[in-house]
Amino acid sequence: MKRVDRGEFIVPGIMGLFIAAYHWQVRSIPSEVLLWPYLVTGVLAVMLGATLFRIAKGVYGAAKGWSLKKPAGLLLVTALYLSAMPFLGYSASSFLFLFGTQAWLGADKRTAFIVSLVLTALLHLVMLRIVDLDLPRLITPLFTL
């Protein structure tokens, strides 16, 4: 079994801490109000578990050590995504964030494009149309996204 770069555990660890802190914060709110957030964090927790399992098994990751290149890059890209959202709008910045992150992490460009487009369309549908959140939108003379 190959040795795994322990730096690969940083971003999933931050995500796990975020999920735990979120559930600690909302512990007194009635559970029927939190159905959607519980479903989303449940799916994220399963994905996080699978990611941690794959890292621990050495399925992917660098050779060994504590490389901080990927975690630092992901945190930087996330900060850029949040900074660009007021200017590009939620959907456009989400697409660029998803596609750019996948491409940077080494995914096939065609697959990254399709996955980014589908996820962005789903997020747009859910957040802006169904839930009707007031998120930043890209407004042009031809369309509003």
DSSP 8-state class, residue 141:
S
- Give the pLDDT score at 59: 53
- Give the pLDDT score at 112: 92
Q: What is the pLDDT along the chain (145 residues), one digit of tens a residue?
A: 556 667 777 878 888 888 888 878 877 888 777 777 777 778 878 878 887 777 777 655 555 556 677 778 888 888 899 899 888 888 899 999 999 988 888 889 999 999 999 999 998 888 878 877 777 777 777 767 6
SS (H, E, C) 93-116: HHHHHHHHHHHHCCCCHHHHHHHH
